[in-house]
A and B are shown apart, each in its own frame.
Chain A
């Protein structure tokens, strides 16, 4: 089966510019996650979707970050405007359901804000 697909792989932008990341989860996976991974750290959850509903966005900085998962499949994560501290790897993951199903991660988008 195809894995979780993310694009772009790399993105370099100047601060205050907008940026968007795209994720296509594994077919049939209802739960989709966006994580942020800073250098030398573990992934930290930003938002979790169950189908098209955001069921946990408590860690999403809502003043500049937004996400959507239209039709309960693909998802986009947007930052506007980006700040220097947003430089990180943004990982998308999906799982079958919430019953402790394994998470499958995409390759991530490495964002550099200059």
Chain B
């Protein structure tokens, strides 16, 4: 089945710097890759997603890139702000059988943005 690896597990940046979080997936048939942000004690919230028919997607300070050949995708946050501090999870869909459509999550990256 699908396996998602996420790096780094923790990331500390200075306010205004960029942050990059990387994920790899195992099943080349996966075609949907969302990113979720989870603040302490709160629900995971979708911040951006990308489908396999595009290589990059942007939404203001957030962008996601996808390399299907290498089976990895990355989250880029520019001009980081203290309110970006949270745990970020990547995910990939399981493409086959009874698990089709299920999201497999990475273990998360704790991002700390220092003022």
Residues in A lying within 8 Å of B, measured CB to CB: 4, 31, 33, 40-45, 48, 55-56, 58, 91, 98-100, 102-108
Contacts and interface: CB of A to CB of B under 8 A. Distances in A.
A43 B89 CA distance: 9
B98 A55 contact: yes
Contacts, number: 54
Contacts of A40: 107-108
A106 B31 contact: no
Among B43, B46, B49, B105, the most chain A Cβ lie within 10 Å of the Cβ of B43
Please report whether the interface of chain A is mostly helix, strand, loop or mixed according to DSSP.
Answer: loop
B6, B45, B100, B102: which has the most chain A beta carbons within 10 Å?
B102
Contact of A41 (B31, B43, B108): B108
A105 B45 CA distance: 7
B34 A58 contact: no
B101 to A, nearest CB: 4
B106 to A, nearest CB: 6
B42 interface: yes
A44 B98 CA distance: 16
Nearest to A44: B105
A42 B108 contact: yes
